[in-house]
Amino acid sequence: MHTTFELQEFIEKAISELKYPDHPKRLYEPITYIMNLGGKRLRPALVLLAAELFGGDLEEALPAAMAIETFHNFTLIHDDIMDNAPLRRGKQTVHEKWGTNNAILSGDVMMVESNKELTKVKAAVLKQVLDTFNATAQGVCEGQQLDMEFETRNDVSISEYIDMIRLKTAVLVGGAMKIGAIVGGATEKEARLIYDFGENLGIAFQLQDDILDVYGDPEKFGKQVGGDIIANKKTFLLLKALELAENSHLEKLHHWIKSEHFDSEEKVAEVKRIYNDLDIPSIARETMEQYLDRALALFGQIEVTDEAKVNLLDLTHTLMAREY
């Protein structure tokens, strides 16, 4: 068994050794570029952690881990086009650097690369791995679609929001772990349990992200604190506030949402004040903890030794203990 850190290093090395065809250069350069932009390699690490949880072999699980990381980066390229994002991890996005057409096509071929990696898993589990991967990939596309649609809708409910983040973020966390588990030799029941663990953890993680965006320590949180408020992003916090606010709170909230010209700091401070008045941070943390508790209860049902569980449990606690 390896620690998460060791697995991350193992993955980083494998990524740095990836070799795509030389030609056509403009098709493959963006892939090398985005794959080497960094990141914590959490999703492929989860594949490997899940494989080792069930006694699987690292080398055997590596292609599946690479497939997940390649797929994730493919979605980043296409999402960045759709979101018109100029930067990714502080660097130019692929479509900014190579143009939209190139970004579409390099993304497409990355999807093929993910599938090529997957075919390297052993024949006995190939079908099961592919079924899980395809269901995961489909869910991620559905989540992105809903996320785009929410931007122009004014009637998004909390349950719709949870379903969107489940699809956009959490199914990939669950799918990565389930694929690792299958390759590692898990039974169908165990694979199902670890998928559900991952999905619930993924939702908890995204809710934490929503909270940190407003209440995070600016020194420690990677992004601009209040960015979601400034952009009127329909997060759990905003949707909950819109649900609970009455009279002057509701009026103020609508005022800030509709304002086109405003002082960013003032808007963040004012909306934050409304959130605080309505007890939104406590409600959000409570909801987050419900998903985390459910995740841990499901993880508890997996019948392997406590020793085998240590690494995944440690990572869970690290992920869920970011500063806010």
Q: CA-based Rg of the chain, rounded to a whole angstrom? A: 20
How far apart (Å, rounded) are the C-alpha atoms in residues 241 and 253? 8
Residue among 1, 85, 87, 148 that touches its own copies (CB under 8 A):
148
How far apart (Å, rounded) are the C-alpha atoms in residues 107 and 183? 26
Which CB, 142 or 277, lies closer to its own copies? 142
Residues in contact with its own copies, total (CB under 8 A)? 36
**DSSP class of 302:** S
Which CB, 18 or 111, lies closer to its own copies? 111
26 binds its own copies (CB under 8 A): yes
18 binds its own copies (CB under 8 A): no
Residue among 27, 37, 230, 320 that touches its own copies (CB under 8 A):
27
Binding string, residues 243-272; x marks residues near its own copies by CB under 8 A: ------------------------------
**Closest separation in Å from C-beta 101 to its own copies:** 4
How far apart (Å, rounded) are the C-alpha atoms in residues 85 and 95? 9
Residue among 3, 145, 232, 290 that touches its own copies (CB under 8 A):
145
* CB of 52 closer than 8 Å to CB of 58: yes
Conformational region of residue 259, where left means phi above 0, alpha means psi within -120 to 50, and beta covers everything else:
beta
- Burial grade of 60 (CB within 10 A; 0-12, 13-18, 19 or more): middle
Residue among 1, 85, 87, 112 that touches its own copies (CB under 8 A):
112
138 binds its own copies (CB under 8 A): yes
Residue among 142, 270, 277, 289 that touches its own copies (CB under 8 A):
142
Q: 56 by DSSP, 3-state: which?
A: coil
**Closest separation in Å from C-beta 217 to its own copies:** 34
36 binds its own copies (CB under 8 A): no
119 binds its own copies (CB under 8 A): yes
How far apart (Å, rounded) are the C-alpha atoms in residues 149 and 137? 19
86 binds its own copies (CB under 8 A): no
**Closest separation in Å from C-beta 131 to its own copies:** 6
Among residues 265, 264, 274, 266, the alpha carbon closest in space to that of 238 is found at 274
